[in-house]
């Protein structure tokens, strides 16, 4: 019997996990259990390949990986930047493409140009702070929200927002626009730093196979 240890994957619940599993299937890694939509189970095992998969809230994925509860994680670049956890970012999976932007009503552009002391609503205070303080050298008041951030400028909570833009339809529907682009985003694979040393052969094999499929 093989003494091989399980390699554990933490996947951000939802679309990201679905896309990741589709990609894994292309390199021969399947987990039939996880695909049954109505299950409430959170952890799934592939005994033949000695793999485990679990579904976590996106922002928790880097935490599981930093502490070694998962060897590998798949999560959006936005979450990696916001959570600032220790892990190796090994691969851009090239899906979930979108961008982090400063958005607001057209008139707010002037406030940004003149480095006014403005209010910025966001789910991403770390990213917003880094952008305004370290890159733009603009002092702002950052207000943390947990979703539907576009409400900020509409109801008078903030002048602008820092948020993800994918198709732009949420902005358009709410009379807002992109004022500045902060950075491009996509799904990334991350690896625990110890696992990368201890399980380098298996992990590098997965990375090379994925690279071949992605490119």
Identify which of 114, 121, 115, 117 has the alpha carbon closest to the alpha carbon of residue 160. 121
Tell me how far apart the 2 most distant CA atoms of the chain are, in Å.
Answer: 68
Q: Please, what is the minimum distance in Å from the beta carbon of residue 26 to ligand PRP?
A: 26
Question: Which CB sits closer to ligand PRP, 71 or 163?
Answer: 163
Q: Please, what is the minimum distance in Å from the beta carbon of residue 56 to ligand PRP?
A: 16
Q: Please, what is the minimum distance in Å from the beta carbon of residue 87 to ligand PRP?
A: 23
Question: Which CB sits closer to ligand PRP, 68 or 125?
Answer: 125
194 phi/psi in degrees, rounded to 5 = -75, -45
Q: 15-42 in b/e burial notation, b at 16+ Cβ within 10 A?
A: ebbebbbebbeeeebebeebeeeeeeee
Q: Please, what is the minimum distance in Å from the beta carbon of residue 203 to ligand PRP?
A: 30
The binding site for ligand PRP (CB under 6 A) comprises 123, 147-150, 163-170
Question: Which CB sits closer to ligand PRP, 28 or 147?
Answer: 147
The residue whose Cβ lies closest to ligand PRP is: 147
Question: Which CB sits closer to ligand PRP, 85 or 123?
Answer: 123
Q: Please, what is the minimum distance in Å from the beta carbon of residue 169 to ligand PRP?
A: 4
Q: Please, what is the minimum distance in Å from the beta carbon of residue 176 to ligand PRP?
A: 10
Instruction: Note whether 172 and 72 are within 8 A (CB).
Output: no
* Locus of tokens 């399947």: 30
Q: Three-state DSSP class for 189?
A: strand
Question: Which CB sits closer to ligand PRP, 32 or 169?
Answer: 169
For 29-86, give the secondary structure using H, E and C. Answer: CCCHHHHCCCCCCCEEEECCCCEEEEEECHHHHHHHHHCCCCCEEEEEHHHHHHHCCC
Identify which of 93, 27, 51 has the alpha carbon closest to the alpha carbon of residue 199. 51
Query: Angle between the 15-26 and 200-214 helix axes, to the nearest 10 degrees?
Result: 100
Question: Which CB sits closer to ligand PRP, 93 or 162?
Answer: 162
């Amino acid at each position: 019997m093989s003494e091989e240890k399980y390699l554990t994957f933490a996947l951000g619940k939802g679309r990201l996990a679905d896309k990741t599993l589709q990609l894994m299937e292309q390199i021969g890694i399947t987990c039939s259990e996880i695909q049954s939509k109505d299950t409430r189970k959170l952890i799934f095992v592939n005994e033949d390949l000695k793999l485990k998969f679990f579904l976590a809230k996106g922002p928790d994925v880097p935490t599981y990986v930093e502490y070694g509860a998962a060897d590998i994680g798949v999560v959006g670049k936005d979450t990696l930047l916001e959570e600032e956890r220790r892990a190796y970012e090994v691969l851009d999976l090239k899906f979930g493409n979108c961008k982090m932007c400063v958005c607001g009503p057209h008139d707010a552009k002037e406030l940004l140009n003149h480095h006014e002391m403005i209010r910025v609503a966001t789910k991403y205070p770390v990213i917003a702070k880094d952008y305004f303080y370290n890159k733009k050298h603009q002092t702002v008041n950052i207000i943390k929200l947990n979703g539907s951030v576009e409400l900020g400028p509409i109801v008078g909570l903030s002048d602008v927002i820092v948020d993800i833009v994918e198709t732009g339809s949420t902005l358009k529907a709410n009379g807002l626009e992109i004022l500045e682009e902060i950075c491009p985003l996509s799904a990334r694979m991350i690896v625990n730093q110890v696992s990368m040393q201890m399980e380098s052969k298996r992990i590098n094999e997965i990375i090379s196979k994925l690279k071949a499929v992605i490119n």
